[in-house]
């Protein structure tokens, strides 16, 4: 081998080396470019998504809120109507009750005035009958005998037959 040959061989190998290095470098760059390209695409996709969200979300939120408000409003109106209805019903019942109370009071006063109940405790009458007593000189009189649930007895013909209201204690002469 001549010196010249050795020189060219060396040059060739150096050039080959440079080509190989360059090739590898290009390959790497290409791969990098591909990765960058992929990332760019992804970024664009995400950006589009974000923009979509920005466009949609407020509307969706507003619509959802609006719906909720409408539901709440309907509910409030319904409750108000029901409340008024109940109010009317309650007022009607109150008036009815008032009327009944008035009637009851009148009835109670009537009963108290009558001899249908014990004047002391209000116990009901259980027995009432009339009989005739004969006074001196053909003076007849119709008298009443009345007995009440509490034991109270009113005997118009014989005052000794009277008995006090049992609700107040034991009767005189009773065992």
The footprint of Zn ion (CB under 5 A) covers 118, 120-121, 123, 150, 152, 165, 167
- Output the smallest distance, CB 129 to Zn ion, in A: 19
Residue 94 or 113 with smaller CB distance to Zn ion:
113
Q: Which is nearer to Zn ion, 156 or 167 (CB)?
A: 167
Cβ 167 to Zn ion shortest distance, Å:
5
User: Shortest Cβ distance from residue 147 to Zn ion (Å)?
Assistant: 11
Residue with tokens 């009963």: 111
Q: Name the one residue in this structure whose structure tokens are 């760059």.
A: 29
Distance (Å, rounded) from C-alpha 33 to C-alpha 171? Answer: 121
Nearer to Zn ion, 54 or 174 (CB): 174
What is the closest distance, in whole angstroms, from the C-beta atom of residue 136 to Zn ion in the complex? 34
**Of 92 and 161, which CB lies nearer to Zn ion in the complex structure?**
161
Q: What does the alpha-carbon distance between residue 115 and residue 125 come to, in Å, rounded to a whole number?
A: 8
| Residue 161 structure tokens | 């037959």
Pairwise CA distance, residues 121 & 107, whole Å:
16
Report d(CA 3, CA 132) in Å as an integer.
177
Name the token pair of 171: 């009767």
Task: Tell me the backbone φ, ψ of residue 118, rounded to 5 degrees.
Answer: -60, 130
Q: Which is nearer to Zn ion, 16 or 126 (CB)?
A: 126
Q: How far is the CB of 152 from Zn ion (least distance, A)?
A: 4
At 57, give phi and psi (nearest 5°). Answer: -50, -50
């Amino acid at each position: 081998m001549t010196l010249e040959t050795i020189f060219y061989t060396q040059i060739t190998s150096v050039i080959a080396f440079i080509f190989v290095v360059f090739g590898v470098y290009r390959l790497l760059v290409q791969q990098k470019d591909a990765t960058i390209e992929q990332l760019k695409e992804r970024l664009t996709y995400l950006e589009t998504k974000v923009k979509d969200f920005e466009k949609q979300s407020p509307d969706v939120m507003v619509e959802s809120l609006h719906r909720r408000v409408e539901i709440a409003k309907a509910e409030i109106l319904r409750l108000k109507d029901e409340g008024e209805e109940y109010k009317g019903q309650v007022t009607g019942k109150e008036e009815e009750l008032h009327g009944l109370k008035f009637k009851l009071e009148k009835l109670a006063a009537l009963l108290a005035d009558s001899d249908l109940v014990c004047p002391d405790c209000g116990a009901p009458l259980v027995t009432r009958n009339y009989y005739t007593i004969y006074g001196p000189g053909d003076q007849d009189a119709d008298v009443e005998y009345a007995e009440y649930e509490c034991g109270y007895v009113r005997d118009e013909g014989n005052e000794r037959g009277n008995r006090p209201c049992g609700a107040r204690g034991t009767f005189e002469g009773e065992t």
